[in-house]
Amino acid sequence: MPSSYYTKDHEYIRVEGDTGIVGISDYAQEQLGDVVFVELPAKGAKIGKGEQAAVVESVKAASEVYAPVTGEVLDINGALEGEPGKVNQEPAGDGWFFKLKITDSRQLEGLMDENAYAAYLKTLG
Amino acid sequence: MRYLPITPDDRTLMLARIGVAGIDALFADVPGDKLMHGLPQLPLRKSELEVERLLSRMAAKNMPASSVPFFVGAGAYKHHVPASVDHLIQRSEFLTSYTPYQPEITQGTLQMLFEFQTQVANLTGMEVANASMYDGSTGCAEAVLMSHRLTKRKKAVLSGGLHPHYAEVVRTISHMASDEVSTLPPDVQASEDLLAQIDETISCVVVQSPDVFGNLRDLKPIADKCHAHGALLIAVFTEAVALGIVESPGAMGADIVVGEGQSIGNPLTFGGPYVGLFATRQKYVRQMPGRLAGQTRDAQGKRGFVLTLSTREQHIRREKATSNICTNSGLCALAFSIHMTLLGENGLRKLALVNHANAVMLADMLAASGIEVLNKTFFNEFTIRVKGEAAAVVEKLAGEGLLAGVPVSRLLPGAGCDDLLIVANTEVNTDEDRAALVAALKGAK
Amino acid sequence: MLNNQGRPTTPAAANESAPRPHKTFTGNRGLQQEEALLFETGRPDVSGVDIDEPQPFISRLGALERATPLDLPGFSEPEAVRHYVRLSQKNYSIDAGLYPLGSCTMKHNPRLNEKTARLPGFADIHPLQPQSTIQGALELIGELERWLIELTGMHSVAMSPKAGAHGEACGMMAIKAAIEARGEGKTRNVVIVPDSAHGTNPATAALIGYSVRAVPAREDGTVSAQAVRAALGPDVAAIMLTNPNTCGLFEKEIVEIAKAVHDAGGYFYCDGANFNAIMGKVRPGDLGIDAMHINLHKTFSTPHGGGGPGAGPVVMSRALSPFVPLPVFSTSASSSAIIENAVELAGSAQHPFGRMTAFHGQMGMYVRALTYMLSHGADGLKQAAEDAVLNANYVRACLADVMSLPFGNRPCMHEALFDDKWLKDTGVTTLDFAKAMIDEGYHPMTMYFPLVVHGAMLIEPTESESLASLDLFIMTLRDLAFSAKRGETERFTQAPQLAPRQRLDETLAARKPVLRWTKPEAISEAAE
């Protein structure tokens, strides 16, 4: 069973037990360019699948980050406030956005795994 | 036509190069019957001499402030502007430049805006200011919208001392956006109980000081109660010179300060263009509307300035932008900034002091001749009670070559204030002007 | 007596192998002078304005006297003048060169406009003076209204909006008020906006509580009536369309679109930013438009001033005319009036929706715009539109073989839109190309707008350029284009080299915003 899933909006969720770590994909950070600001959800907030959870801004673009699955925000990556560049440097590592306690793990089935996402990216040209 | 450099011969040559037979071939996408072939029903071109003559005739039908004893204020003020201000803003490089989208070749505008933002922040006692709004009234409406975004509430409370035009601009946009507004009744003597209006449901209280009737307001208790209830205090001013000697709204706890900057550096011009000043706390900057100049470095490490945090703005965020503002009041902001630079701390303090001294002198003269001055406190403007209707008195005195002030009924018709007159007195008024006003009001029935 | 012995009168022959200009002691480079911030050089006790302290008097400030310092630097007049003159020398301007910013209409700003706007009868009158003392101002506004209405074929005009986006808000509020008056305020809450629209359009719709429904542009850069029809429904309040559009094209199905929108019970808002292309040629009123703002600072040459002030009067159809904001001007030959309060209109057909701004709008801009109109006359305005279109098409025709046109080599209106296909595999981007134009002494064109075209370059030369000026501009762009295709990448990626600043770090500015000057010691304290 894969541990990382992706959405068509380029969020990823890395599953560790019943916790999901959410961020944006390497492709997304490259499209955005230098990230200058990240607005994170409040700890304890309950967010539904597909609802806006965060905002990521580069110099020339702003985009919403949606929750890949429903859950409660367990933790946020406060380090991004001072160093938003981490999103560019290590989107899958230190550049994570927030951790979710996953309400219903069956929602993961509707997402893409690594291979499906790689194939999806190819269709975007 | 003196402004069109292309000659008939050029046109022939250019059409040939483009490969079309005539100019209307370039308008081929216009639906057939919609292209006009004649001329609009308007006069033909005129020489400079003719145009200047026409406009001068229109201008001569107006009564300029400097031609008579002049006491009109209520949101726009007659001050002396140093000659160098108008000279400098007419330099081609300021006057005929666009919004600084290419920072490498617009450092003049960008550095000026950075300096303007700092001057406005210091004057208002706030941490950051933007690069200007259209004017004080639209800035006030934008501040209310910003407070809604910050508090996630949708109800504003407007003081009865807020300029009625400002209140109406706020009510208009609020109605359109389905937000709630509660406007207190006209408050001539600053006696309203704003504290009673503050609770957990409101996003902001909007208070003007000096208010439209000239009264100064202590913002501290209002700010404290707002903060205790999660609401914001929006402080408004229409006379920027007052801040030279009156405590800054920032020092009294305001969260957003908006004001009209016209009275520093800008002429009256019948109400516009003016310049809206907008300042707030650093922590709210990402919800602030309008352009912002910020400091950075160039590829060689030299200090330079750019427009920044533009993800708040319409060209990136589109329907999610903080505001739809694009063009602002750049040149009026420049005039403001130059005048502030010429004044400096010492000059602004003395200018404000002279304004206040002149107004105190006039208030004392009026009181001594039996005319009631309603204000306990004021800066350079106050409200008096006249015999009969103030509007009629003003009209009569205008006929005699004196502009006495603004009748409250002009701003608040039907509010029962028909005998009240708002009188402004700045550094331009002389002892003779004041004597003329007192004599005229004593004589007016 | 002249004593110029030994003073050479011709420069020594340039030494080709001499190094580039050395690093100077001051950091200045001849006429290009570095200038510190006001706050680094000013002194609080110096002033460029002589004011005497008043005689002692009893203050009436209550307990609200200022206790906190202002921290404002002061300067003598010569110091202040030098500061601003040096700053000005770091700016590009239309007076100094061609300014081809698409959708901005950077045309010549006649100085007569500045002179008339400064007549004391216009510049030195207060908005709340008795109306009997400002009859000339009302006459001028009435005359400007007449010109705007005649040029657009509309029914009335709301004068007070202060810029284009403010005019958009005004027009959309009038539409909302009209819909509320019909009792459909609750059900019609969608505004149709094409993808190619300027960002102010969706921002304006959202500002007044509408949600936005996007319609895509066609392959040819225009909006089809069919796509609009598909987006229409009983929930639609209005469409916001720019014509000529942001791709520099006339919306050829505009009449059909207007009819479809009206049939569905909606209104047609037109963004008039590009009116310069059609003034005196096409009347928006004849196309079925209900409201359109006019950027006086674009089409009618009131100067841009580094980002304003502008003015955005809104012309309205008969259907929307009852719903204009206050104030309303009533002008006649004998006597004119401003109607400032809704009570004065009670019982009339007018139902003002409120107020856009304090006072009456941008009088200073009205004077300039009317001066411009009177100077041109009906004949000159029509000629200006034709020349603007001619100049843009000449640029397009002369560059079509080296740069790529997204919608084919066909006539455009007053601006020519190129994309970045022709730069493919050169290692040069639209941004690089634009920055290289700076080294050649030109302000770049509008870049990366409209969003519907990849790497967009939108060139609007305006009618103010002579044929010689256009030819030099075209030759310059051709030279740059060939250079890019030859692989001379550094000329672009390292540009600009010759401007007051090289490329600026926008990421740093946004990541660590410094939005005001702060005393250096305060910075070090904060760091501790």
pLDDT along chain A (125 residues), means of 10: 85 93 94 91 93 89 90 94 92 94 91 93 84
Looking at B292, B322, B339, the residue that finishes a domain is B339
Is B416 domain-assigned? yes
Cα–Cα distance between B377 and C63 in angstroms, integer? 9
Which chain C residues touch A34 with a CB distance below 8 Å? 507, 511
Q: Smallest Cα–Cα separation from A46: which of A22, A70, A77?
A: A70
Amino acid C304: pLDDT: 94
Q: Are residues B236 and B220 in the same domain?
A: yes
Is B282 domain-assigned? yes
Asked if C84 is an interface residue toward chain B (Cβ–Cβ < 8 A), one would say yes
Asked if the Cβ–Cβ distance from A60 to B316 is below 8 Å, we say yes
Tell me how close the Cα of B279 comes to any Cα of chain A, in angstroms.
Answer: 21
Asked if B283 is an interface residue toward chain A (Cβ–Cβ < 8 A), one would say no
Using DSSP bridges, classify how beta strands B406-407 and C457-459 pair: parallel, antiparallel or unpaired. Answer: unpaired
Give B285: exposed, middle or buried? Use CB within 10 Å, 0-12, 13-18, 19+.
middle
Q: Best residue in A29, A32, A34 to probe C by mutation, most C CBs within 10 Å?
A: A34
Question: Quick count: other Cβ atoms within 10 Å of Cβ A34?
Answer: 19
Looking at B339, B362, B397, the residue that finishes a domain is B339
Record the tokens describing residue A104, joined without a space.
């219903």
Which chain C residues touch B248 with a CB distance below 8 Å? 66, 68
How high does pLDDT run on average in chain C? 93
Asked if the Cβ–Cβ distance from C509 to B319 is below 8 Å, we say no
Which chains have at least 3 CB atom pairs separated by less than 8 Å from chain B? A, C
Indicate the residue of C62, C303, C308 with minimum beta-carbon distance to B96: C303
**Chain A residue whose CA is closest to B318:** A62
Cα–Cα distance between B215 and B192 in angstroms, integer? 12
Give the A-side interface with C, CB within 8 Å. 34, 36-37, 57, 59, 84-85
**Chain C residue whose CA is closest to B166:** C358
Q: The sheet that has B420-424: what strands, in order across it?
A: B372-373, B381-385, B420-424, B406-407
Specify the DSSP element, H or E, that contains B385.
Answer: strand B381-385
User: What residue type is assigned to position B59 of the chain?
Assistant: A
Residues near B381 by Cβ (< 8 Å), separated by ≥ 6?
B73, B74, B210, B214, B239, B359, B422, B423, B424, B425
Tell me how close the Cα of A114 comes to any Cα of chain B, in angstroms.
Answer: 31
Q: Are residues B220 and B147 in the same domain?
A: yes
Q: Are residues B401 and B438 in the same domain?
A: yes
The total number of structural domains in chain B stands at 2
Specify the DSSP element, H or E, that contains C416.
Answer: strand C416-418
Amino acid C2: pLDDT: 59
Asked if B432 is an interface residue toward chain C (Cβ–Cβ < 8 A), one would say no
Q: Are residues B387 and B309 in the same domain?
A: no
Record the tokens describing residue C481, joined without a space.
């284009």
Please report how many Cα atoms fall inside a 13 Å half-sphere around the Cα of residue B243, on the Cβ side: 35
The per-residue pLDDT string of chain B (445 residues; one tens digit each, 9 = 90 and over) reads 999 999 999 999 999 999 999 999 999 999 989 999 999 999 999 999 999 999 999 999 999 999 999 999 999 999 999 999 999 999 999 999 999 999 999 999 999 999 999 999 999 999 999 999 999 999 999 999 999 999 999 999 999 999 999 999 999 999 999 999 999 999 999 999 999 999 999 999 999 999 999 999 999 999 999 999 999 999 999 999 999 999 999 999 999 999 999 999 999 999 999 999 999 999 999 999 999 999 999 999 999 999 999 888 777 777 777 788 887 899 999 999 999 999 999 999 999 999 999 999 999 999 999 999 999 999 999 999 999 999 999 999 999 999 999 999 999 999 999 999 999 999 999 999 999 999 999 876 4
- Return the sign of the alpha-carbon dihedral for residues B160, B166, B170, B173: positive
CA distances from B275 to B136, B293, B394, B444, C505 (A): 7, 16, 28, 37, 29
Q: Are residues B226 and B362 in the same domain?
A: no
Helix runs in C356-428, H state only: 363-399
* Domains delineated in chain C: 113-370 (3.40.640.10)
The per-residue pLDDT string of chain C (528 residues; one tens digit each, 9 = 90 and over) reads 556 666 666 766 666 665 566 888 998 988 889 999 999 999 988 999 999 999 999 999 999 999 999 999 999 999 999 999 999 999 999 999 999 999 999 999 999 999 999 999 999 999 999 999 999 999 999 999 999 999 999 999 999 999 999 999 999 999 999 999 999 999 999 999 998 888 889 989 998 999 999 999 888 999 999 999 999 999 999 999 999 999 999 999 999 999 999 999 999 999 999 999 999 999 999 999 999 999 999 999 999 999 999 999 999 999 999 999 999 998 877 789 999 999 888 888 889 999 999 999 999 999 999 999 999 999 999 999 999 999 999 999 999 999 999 999 999 999 999 999 999 999 999 999 999 999 999 999 999 988 889 999 999 999 999 999 999 999 999 999 999 999 999 999 999 999 999 999 999 999 999 999 998 875 555 444
CB pairs under 8 A between A and B: 17
User: Which residues, numbered 17 to 36 in chain A, qualify as contacts with chain B under a Cβ-Cβ cut-off of 8 Å?
Assistant: 36
Indicate the residue of A37, A39, A61 with minimum beta-carbon distance to B316: A61
Q: Best residue in B1, B2, B3 to probe C by mutation, most C CBs within 10 Å?
A: B3
**A44, A72 contact by CB (below 8 A):** yes
CB pairs under 8 A between A and C: 13
Amino acid C18: pLDDT: 58
Q: Are residues B312 and B387 in the same domain?
A: no
Amino acid C3: pLDDT: 61
Asked if the Cβ–Cβ distance from A60 to B286 is below 8 Å, we say no
Amino acid C452: pLDDT: 87
Q: Best residue in A35, A57, A60, A81 to probe B by mutation, most B CBs within 10 Å?
A: A57
Q: What share of chain A is helix, strand, coil (3-state, %, to 5)?
A: 25, 35, 40
Asked if the Cβ–Cβ distance from C378 to B268 is below 8 Å, we say no
User: Which residue's structure tokens are 């920072």?
Assistant: B103
Tell me how close the Cα of A85 comes to any Cα of chain C, in angstroms.
Answer: 9
Which chain C residues touch B316 with a CB distance below 8 Å? 199
Is B313 domain-assigned? yes
Q: Are residues B118 and B225 in the same domain?
A: yes
Is B169 domain-assigned? yes
Which chain A residues touch B320 with a CB distance below 8 Å? 62
Q: Are residues B307 and B404 in the same domain?
A: no
Cα–Cα distance between A1 and A3 in angstroms, integer? 7
Which chains have at least 3 CB atom pairs separated by less than 8 Å from chain C? A, B
Specify the DSSP element, H or E, that contains C192.
Answer: strand C190-194
Amino acid C335: pLDDT: 83
CB burial string B235-258: b at 16+ within 10 A, e below: bbbbbbbbbbbbbbbbebbbbbbb
Is B8 domain-assigned? no
User: Which residues, numbered 312 to 371 in chain B, qualify as contacts with chain C under a Cβ-Cβ cut-off of 8 Å?
Assistant: 313-321, 323-332, 334, 338, 340-351, 353-354, 356-361, 363
Amino acid C528: pLDDT: 41
User: Which residues, numbered 179 to 218 in chain B, qualify as contacts with chain A under a Cβ-Cβ cut-off of 8 Å?
Assistant: none
Q: How far apart are the first and last CA of chain C?
A: 66
Asked if the Cβ–Cβ distance from A37 to B317 is below 8 Å, we say no
CB pairs under 8 A between B and C: 728
Indicate the residue of B31, B84, B94 with minimum beta-carbon distance to C91: B94
Asked if B439 is an interface residue toward chain C (Cβ–Cβ < 8 A), one would say no
Q: Are residues B76 and B87 in the same domain?
A: no
Cα–Cα distance between C462 and C479 in angstroms, integer? 22
Asked if C440 is an interface residue toward chain B (Cβ–Cβ < 8 A), one would say no
For C325, list phi and psi in degrees, rounded to 5: -80, 170
Q: Are residues B162 and B286 in the same domain?
A: yes
Looking at B274, B308, B339, the residue that finishes a domain is B339
Specify the 3-state DSSP secondary structure of C339. strand
CATH number at residue B167: 3.40.640.10
* Domains delineated in chain A: 4-123 (2.40.50.100)
Which chains have at least 3 CB atom pairs separated by less than 8 Å from chain A? B, C
Is B403 domain-assigned? yes
List pLDDT tens digits, range C233-243. 999 999 999 99
Asked if the Cβ–Cβ distance from C506 to A85 is below 8 Å, we say no
Amino acid A2: pLDDT: 58
Tell me how close the Cα of A64 comes to any Cα of chain C, in angstroms.
Answer: 17
Is B392 domain-assigned? yes
CA distances from B296 to A111, B107, B110 (A): 41, 12, 11
**C147, C373 contact by CB (below 8 A):** yes
Q: Are residues B117 and B245 in the same domain?
A: yes
Cα–Cα distance between B268 and B238 in angstroms, integer? 13
User: What residue type is assigned to position C130 of the chain?
Assistant: P
Which chain B residues touch A60 with a CB distance below 8 Å? 310-311, 316
What ipTM was reported for this prediction?
0.97
Is B435 domain-assigned? yes
Tell me how close the Cα of A96 comes to any Cα of chain B, in angstroms.
Answer: 21
Domain that holds residue B416: 68-81+345-443
Q: Are residues B300 and B334 in the same domain?
A: yes
CA angle B279, B128, B319 (to 5 degrees): 70
CATH number at residue B353: 3.90.1150.10
Specify the DSSP element, H or E, that contains B330.
Answer: helix B330-368
